Structure 1
Amino acid sequence: MSRAVIRIENISKQYRLGKIGTGSFAHDVNRLWHKMRGKEDPYLRIGEENDRTRKGDSEYVWALRDVSFDVMQGEVLGIVGRNGAGKSTLLKILSRTTSPTTGNIKIKGRIASLLEVGTGFHPELTGKENIFLNGAILGMTKREIKSKFDEIVDFAGVEKYIDTPVKRYSSGMYVRLAFAVAAHLDPEILIVDEVLAVGDAEFQKKAMGKMQDVSRGQGRTVLFVSHNMGAIKSLCTNGVFMKNGTVVMKSSIEDVVTRYLHNEETLKIPLAQRTDRIGNGNLKFTDIRFTNLKNEDIASVFTGQAFKIILEYDCSIPDFNTDLLIINIEFSNEFGQQLSFFVSDEMQKTIVKNGKREIHLVIHRLMLRGGEYSIKLFSSYSSTSPSDFCDVIENAGELSVMSTDFWLKDRVMRSIKGAVMEAEYQIYN
């Protein structure tokens, strides 16, 4: 029978915004004075929920609040949530790189963690030296590390640079070696944050396969944080959905992903007020809606139908040249897998100035089967750099696609055209 290898009991973590510790000598002394008298920390009763969507009044914030759950031996647990939900803070506490403000954690087994680029490596040491250093930290003997050394180097694909100080590595090389070390040095528990996104597609596939081998083949426990719901669903058996520093639910990965991607509270927040976005802010989307080609509002389209996406926006770019604006629109399914991608340069783009700033984008044929799709928006202004995004926002809207016999009609039309061409060939030859 499986046993709990991680037991998290009412974990909370409090930070003072913009400060280290409590941020002042007076506060530190006050805390120490209460502790010496056996009294409660006076600052535990203050602080606000870690909600990034609104401005708070308190200088204290709870990054985590009363988080409790067990992780069983051999379980592959996916942890999902928006930026700022507390996922990384929880993993740092589990990895013992920071301590909780309140609560207890019981862990059985060695932990190897990969939380961010640079974690666990000394920049002045070579790749080889860092492998032995990490193995020693995990309690392995020199002989044990040597037996794994060639396998680690081969997996990471950095043999040519293994005697080079890692400070000279690219971020991709750094992550490849760090993951190879964490996955091959026989930890009972492997913790991996979103850092794998730095690697190329080939390595990400390799890393996912290795985590599956570690969990299913060797019975080890894996905690995995990612915004890629396809990767989460393919790897994990169970999941935890976190929001504002608390655990909303712990259940099967299918239920957790569905709840996360269809978070009604997020969809109710107007696009202009959403704070879970990234970019330089020079242009921000404030509203999204859909119309047919007659400019009539619609909530759904048919497969293969033409329709418009209308985006309202605010812009602070001086001498804004709309020709330099590039907008990308991504359609994803219920598991967060990207199924279709459109770029404004490839669509009919119209900038409307009618009191509101609007961009009309026409998609002439939406080649998606029936279902519910979420929309992710990207914008960049190419006078700076195509990779310098102004605004990136996930779940900016939802579109319902209704199935038709479009695919059958298309096959029939191709068959008819083929028959006509064959007949013409026979006549003229």
Structure 2
Amino acid sequence: MDEVLAVGDAEFQKKCLGKMEEVSKGQGRTVLFVSHNMNMIRNLCTRGLLLREGIVGSDDDDIVRVTSAYLQGEKNSTAQWEADAPRQMDCLTPLSMKIVDEDGAVVSSIRGSRDSLYLVLEFELHEIVSSFTIGCVCFDQEKNELFWSYATDTGEGSWPKLRLGKNSLKAKLPQGLLNKGTYTYHLLASYHFIKWIVEPGKGPSVSVDIDGGYSDSPFWQSTRSGLLAPTLEWEVL
């Protein structure tokens, strides 16, 4: 089963996972499950096989050990990506991605998630297509998919006016929301509900590390349980 969780809606994915469990347990057959979702790998698999460029990097019955080896090898991503040899994909040619601060300087790590950070995309458009949309998907260091964002998420009147040739887009990343860890933003692009141009998790990516500085509170100075770590305002009624 290759990336079954990357297609279809939640109901379709649920049916696929149920069928996998039925075949593997009820019929005593082996299911080869391929995915970048480490939580699902850990929950579903009893043995792991890690391949790097066609070579076996790990083969172990300890699935946690295999997934940890995979995640460790993924920590080479940076806060800036530039295409060495730009490649056209349908109407789009991605040129660069970067994470920057208020001054436009590339940032690879911050203390806490309250600093203002921006994701900047540069690309060429070879045709103006009304269904075209571009954005990003955010993953944490365990490969959990946290959120998607498109340039067309707002009312149509406020969409960026893209043009033929080179375009640059900037999006402010969420403040005071993310926990300690490494967060990776992958490029997304598609003809809306028609065709993928750059699929989730398969395009260029950039990363930022968050460590400490979560809150002004003396009670909260370390990593908090859970995927996210928002600071909510409480008041007496």
TM-score (norm 2): 0.68
Alpha-carbon distance in structure 2 between the residues aligned to 1:410 and 1:197? 31
1:321-356 CA distances to partner (integer Å, 9 max, x unpaired)?
Answer: 8x9753222111223211122222347987899x97
Alpha-carbon distance in structure 2 between the residues aligned to 1:311 and 1:326? 13
Q: Which residue of 2 aligns with 1:272?
A: 83
RMSD: 4.1
Match for residue 303 of structure 1 among 94, 106, 113:
113
Q: How does 1:106-185 map to 2 (within 5 A)?
A: none
**Is 1:405 aligned with 2:212?**
no
Alpha-carbon distance in structure 2 between the residues aligned to 1:352 and 1:406? 40
User: Contact 1:285/1:391 (CA < 8 Å) preserved in 2?
Assistant: no
Q: How does 1:19-418 map to 2 (within 5 A)?
A: 192-194=1-3, 200-212=9-21, 215=24, 220-251=29-60, 252-263=62-73, 267=77, 271-273=82-84, 280-301=89-110, 302-317=112-127, 320=128, 326-346=133-153, 357-365=167-175, 367-380=177-190, 385-392=192-199, 393-394=202-203, 396-403=205-212, 404-405=214-215, 410-411=231-232, 413-415=233-235
Measured after TM superposition, the shift of residue 235 of structure 1 is 0.4
Alpha-carbon distance in structure 2 between the residues aligned to 1:406 and 1:221? 51
Higher RCO by CA contacts (8 Å cutoff, separation 6 or greater): 2
Unpaired runs of at least 5, structure 2: 221-229
Measured after TM superposition, the shift of residue 261 of structure 1 is 4.4
SS in 2 for 1:399: strand
User: Contact 1:349/1:360 (CA < 8 Å) preserved in 2?
Assistant: no
User: Contact 1:239/1:250 (CA < 8 Å) preserved in 2?
Assistant: yes
SS in 1 for 2:152: helix
Supply the AA of the counterpart residue of 2:116.
A
Alpha-carbon distance in structure 1 between the residues aligned to 2:58 and 2:8? 30
User: Contact 1:288/1:397 (CA < 8 Å) preserved in 2?
Assistant: yes
1:52-89 CA distances to partner (integer Å, 9 max, x unpaired)?
Answer: xxxxxxxxxxxxxxxxxxxxxxxxxxxxxxxxxxxxxx
Alpha-carbon distance in structure 1 between the residues aligned to 2:161 and 2:45? 44
Measured after TM superposition, the shift of residue 196 of structure 1 is 7.1
**Closer/same/farther in 2, CA of residues 219 and 399 from structure 1, 3 Å limit:** same
User: Contact 2:89/2:197 (CA < 8 Å) preserved in 1?
Assistant: yes
**Closer/same/farther in 2, CA of residues 208 and 341 from structure 1, 3 Å limit:** same
User: Contact 1:328/1:342 (CA < 8 Å) preserved in 2?
Assistant: yes
Measured after TM superposition, the shift of residue 311 of structure 1 is 1.6
SS in 2 for 1:342: strand
Identity percentage of aligned residues: 28
Aligned length: 216
Measured after TM superposition, the shift of residue 230 of structure 1 is 3.2
SS in 1 for 2:103: coil
Supply the AA of the counterpart residue of 1:398.
S
Measured after TM superposition, the shift of residue 314 of structure 1 is 3.1
User: Contact 2:4/2:13 (CA < 8 Å) preserved in 1?
Assistant: no
Greater fraction of residues in helix: 1
Alpha-carbon distance in structure 2 between the residues aligned to 1:282 and 1:376? 18
User: Contact 1:261/1:335 (CA < 8 Å) preserved in 2?
Assistant: yes
**Closer/same/farther in 2, CA of residues 346 and 200 from structure 1, 3 Å limit:** closer
**Closer/same/farther in 2, CA of residues 351 and 308 from structure 1, 3 Å limit:** farther
1:358-414 CA distances to partner (integer Å, 9 max, x unpaired)?
Answer: 222223535211111222210235xxx454333343461212123412797944x33
| Max Rg structure | 1
Unpaired runs of at least 5, structure 1: 1-191, 423-429
User: Contact 1:241/1:260 (CA < 8 Å) preserved in 2?
Assistant: yes
